[in-house]
């Protein structure tokens, strides 16, 4: 096991290039299953989660080749349709394979994901929607066994907008007979990125990016010549927050500011200067950090995947702030670790009240999930008196590509060691 060590106190300076988004890469990799041939994907980040989906798909007979930053995926011979518990328990997003497998092979056997550190995270809405499209499913030994003689279009209404649920249904619907309408669909940029890939394969999709997506099923799809994964908006947000915390000045290259409107607005409210240009986002941290309330919401609202990082920022703000988490019921596990660094935070239901203090203190802390890990690293960047040690960073490696290397290139004193 490895740990990350940080000696806080350096202002971030310089330029950093953002990687492809994990949550856009996983669905487009899964979508390759929909039709045979070579698919060529650009900007796939090198992460534990992208390795995990490759391992699952390789076990099904999918071939992968990587050259000059392009991941080529061959789905000619799929001989198996199973995603085993061993791998699904390490990555819940494996459920994304269900839609494409039933669309291509008319059957799938996927381990049902259990709960995770941030919440129960059921997949009932995925299953209900696929069942309305003609998929028969039963649970056996912890696995969802799915079979479909035919796949029909359907009217789907999601009680809550679900990102991977919307993606699963879109992937099944492109090959279903007739029209599928998804209401209260997720509007996240990752959904739009997947829709772009499906269109490049010959799928007929409209309305992605809005809350109503209409898919007309087609008979045949072709493999995709080239599809580029969007930049990781959560990584961009993490750098923006790091810059605001350290009073630095950085240029974040290769990002899409339109994916970050809510985050930019909050970071400006804190006192940072943000300039958007062709080159990316230029951000200058404030001398005094103002406290600002946030509430997590589906896109275009403030993303839950940046809540823990924003909380680290509020820990050293002037005054108090309220952070309300509305997406996941248990996404405050980072709080007790931040408290070990001197933060003053109290939790009341789904709200955290953060009283800003002058300085955080270095301490050994434990990462509990992916975004909590990033929050603790940010706290470490400003912590005084010693070295912060962040343990269990395998969570970080699931979703950030060389985060500590990128922070080091911006002047932070941060490195990785064997624990």
Q: 3-class SS at 96? A: helix
CA–CA distance, 237 with 305 (Å, rounded to integer): 9
Considering the complex, state which of residue 228 and residue 330 has its C-beta at the smaller distance from ligand EPU.
330
Please name the residues in contact with 29: beta carbons below 8 A apart, sequence gap of 6 or more: 41, 44, 50, 53, 54, 57, 71, 73
At residue 158, what are phi and psi to the nearest 5 degrees? -90, 130
CB of 30 to ligand EPU, least distance (A): 10
CB of 20 to ligand EPU, least distance (A): 13
DSSP assignment letter at 230: P
At residue 353, what are phi and psi to the nearest 5 degrees? -100, 120
| CB 322 within 8 Å of CB 352 | yes
Token code pair at residue 295: 């509430």
Considering the complex, state which of residue 251 and residue 335 has its C-beta at the smaller distance from ligand EPU.
335
Sign of the dihedral defined by the CA atoms of residues 415, 239, 9, 373, in that order: negative
Considering the complex, state which of residue 190 and residue 389 has its C-beta at the smaller distance from ligand EPU.
190
| CB 36 within 8 Å of CB 75 | yes
Gyration radius (Cα) of the chain, Å = 21
CB of 71 to ligand EPU, least distance (A): 17
CB of 413 to ligand EPU, least distance (A): 26
Pair type for strands 364-366 and 388-391: parallel
State the catalytic residues. 116
Considering the complex, state which of residue 263 and residue 370 has its C-beta at the smaller distance from ligand EPU.
370
Considering the complex, state which of residue 93 and residue 224 has its C-beta at the smaller distance from ligand EPU.
93
CB of 327 to ligand EPU, least distance (A): 5
CA–CA distance, 210 with 188 (Å, rounded to integer): 9
Considering the complex, state which of residue 49 and residue 404 has its C-beta at the smaller distance from ligand EPU.
49
CA–CA distance, 340 with 396 (Å, rounded to integer): 19
Query: Which H/E stretch holds residue 282?
Result: strand 280-284
Considering the complex, state which of residue 163 and residue 264 has its C-beta at the smaller distance from ligand EPU.
163
Q: What are the residues binding ligand EPU (CB under 6 A)?
A: 23, 26, 93, 119, 121-126, 160, 162-165, 186, 190, 304-305, 327-328, 370-371, 399
| CB 174 within 8 Å of CB 198 | yes
3-state secondary structure 362-417: CCEEECCCHHHHHHHHHHHHHCECCCEEEECCHHHHHHCCCHHHHHHHCCCEEEEE
Closest by CA position to 305, among listed 349, 371, 257? 371
């Amino acid at each position: 096991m490895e740990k990350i060590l940080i000696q806080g106190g350096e202002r971030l300076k310089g330029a950093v290039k953002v990687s492809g988004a994990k949550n856009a890469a996983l669905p487009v990799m899964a979508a390759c299953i929909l039709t045979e041939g070579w698919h060529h994907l650009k900007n796939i980040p090198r992460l534990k989660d992208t390795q995990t989906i490759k391992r699952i798909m390789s076990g099904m007979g999918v071939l992968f080749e990587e050259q000059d930053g392009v991941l080529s995926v061959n789905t000619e011979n799929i001989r198996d349709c199973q995603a085993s518990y061993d791998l699904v328990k390490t990555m819940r997003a494996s459920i994304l394979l269900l839609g494409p497998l039933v669309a291509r092979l008319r059957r799938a056997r996927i381990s049902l994901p259990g709960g995770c550190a941030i919440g129960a995270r059921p997949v009932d809405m995925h299953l209900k929607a696929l069942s309305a499209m003609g998929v028969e499913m039963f649970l056996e030994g912890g696995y969802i066994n799915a079979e479909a003689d035919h796949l029909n279009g359907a009217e789907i209404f999601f009680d809550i907008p679900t990102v991977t649920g919307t993606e699963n249904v879109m992937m099944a619907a492109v090959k279903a007979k007739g029209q599928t309408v998804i209401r209260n669909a997720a509007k996240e940029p990752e959904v739009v990125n997947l829709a772009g890939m499906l269109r490049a394969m010959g799928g007929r999709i409209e309305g992605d990016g809005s809350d109503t997506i209409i898919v007309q099923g087609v008979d045949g799809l072709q493999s995709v010549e080239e599809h580029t994964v969007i930049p990781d908006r959560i990584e961009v947000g993490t750098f923006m927050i790091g810059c605001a915390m350290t009073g630095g000045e950085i240029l974040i290259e290769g990002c899409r500011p339109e994916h970050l409107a809510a985050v930019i607005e909050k970071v400006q409210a804190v006192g940072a200067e943000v300039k958007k240009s062709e080159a990316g986002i230029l951000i200058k941290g404030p001398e005094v950090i103002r406290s600002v309330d946030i509430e997590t919401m589906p896109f275009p609202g403030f993303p839950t995947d940046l809540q823990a990082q924003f909380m680290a920022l509020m820990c050293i703000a002037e005054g108090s702030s309220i952070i309300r988490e509305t997406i996941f019921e248990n996404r405050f596990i980072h709080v007790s670790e931040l408290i070990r660094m001197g933060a003053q935070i109290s939790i009341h239901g789904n709200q955290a009240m953060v009283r800003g203090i002058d300085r955080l203190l270095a301490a050994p802390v434990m990462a509990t999930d992916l975004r909590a890990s990033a929050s603790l690293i940010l706290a470490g960047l400003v912590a005084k008196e010693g070295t912060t040690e962040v343990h269990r960073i395998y969570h970080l490696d699931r979703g950030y590509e060389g985060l500590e290397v990128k922070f080091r290139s911006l002047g932070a004193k941060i490195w990785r060691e064997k624990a």
